[in-house]
Structures are given as C-alpha cells and as structure tokens.
C-alpha cells in the first residue's frame, strides 16, 4: 500500500500541481497579452469553435462543469461579447450557444499563447512519454468512473 506521506511522493499531488500551477501561469500569460479571458473561459471558446450551437447542458458535459459553473462562465463570456445565446428553433426552452465575431477573435488571439504554453510545459518530454502519461491518466479516470458507478 502506498504511504500517504510525504505527499510529494504521490502521483495525485503532482497531477493537482500541474493543473493549478499551469492554470495560474496561463492566466498570467493571458493578462500579459492584455486579455481578461480566463483559461476556463478559453476552454469554452475553443469547444464552441469546434462545436457551434451546443446547448448549455451539452457544453457543460463536454467541459466537465456543473450547471452552476457553466452558467457563470457563459454569463461572463456573454458580458464580454464573446458568445450569444439563441433560442432553439424546435424547443423554445433551450438556448443554443454560438461564438460571436469577438469570441472568434479572442480565440484566435489566445490560441498561439496556449500553444506556446503547452509546448513549454511539455518541453523535454518525448512524444512517446506524453502518450504514456496520457494513457495512464485515462486509465485512472476510467477507474474513478468505475468506482463511481459501483458506489451509486
């Protein structure tokens, strides 16, 4: 059994650190470039760039965000003029979400920053090593999902 201390020896500690420090650094890079968009908001812009017209529930599932967080993110993006909500033509209770020209422009300006950021984070890791890490993390996610389905 793996000891829980020192915590610096645990994989989950390093996964958490990569996430939190990576997001903080990307936020700083966005600010330095004059953007108020957050990495979380950029993720929504990027998802919508590839899948225009998703409804909030579909978008939340793809972004792994609950309804409350998705609403908060979308409200901020709408306030910035980056997205617009349009009533669904077949179900008037549903709003479809689309990028505006401003949202497309923000995505276009931020994408090179994100690419450079990712390149720097992964510097020194061979493609094969990246694939192994990715495969291992997917396996852990699968284990988590299996545990969740067994306990529910």
The pLDDT value recorded for residue 6 is 87
* Nearest C-alpha neighbor of 12 from the set 145, 138, 140: 140
User: How far is residue 63's CA from residue 54's CA, in Å, rounded to a whole number?
Assistant: 12
Check whether 96 has a pLDDT greater than 80. Answer: yes
Q: What is the per-residue pLDDT for 55?
A: 94
Spatial CA neighbour of 59 closest among 107, 72, 128 = 72
User: Given a cut of 80, is residue 152 above it in pLDDT?
Assistant: no
Residue partners of 118: CB distance under 8 A and separation at least 6: none
Residue 126 burial (10 A CB sphere; 0-12, 13-18, 19+): exposed
List, in order, residues 6 or more apart from 15 with CB less than 8 Å away. Answer: 137
> Using one digit for the tens of pLDDT, what is the confidence trace for 105-117?
999 999 999 999 9
Q: What is the pLDDT of residues 53-71, one digit of tens each?
A: 999 999 999 999 999 999 9
């Amino acid at each position: 059994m793996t000891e829980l201390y020192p915590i610096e020896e645990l994989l989950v500690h390093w996964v958490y650190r990569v996430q939190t420090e990576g997001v903080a650094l990307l936020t700083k890079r966005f600010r330095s470039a004059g953007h108020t968009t957050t990495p979380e908001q950029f993720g929504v812009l990027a998802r919508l760039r590839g899948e225009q017209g998703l409804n909030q529930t579909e978008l939340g599932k793809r972004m792994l965000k609950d309804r409350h967080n998705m609403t908060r993110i979308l409200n901020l993006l709408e306030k910035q003029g980056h997205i617009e909500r349009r009533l669904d033509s077949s179900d008037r209770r549903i709003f479809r979400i689309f990028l505006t020209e401003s949202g497309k422009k923000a995505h276009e300006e931020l994408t090179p920053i994100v690419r450079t950021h990712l390149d720097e984070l992964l510097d020194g890791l061979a493609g094969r090593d990246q694939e192994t890490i990715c495969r291992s993390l997917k396996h852990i996610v699968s284990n988590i999902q299996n545990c969740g389905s067994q306990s529910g």
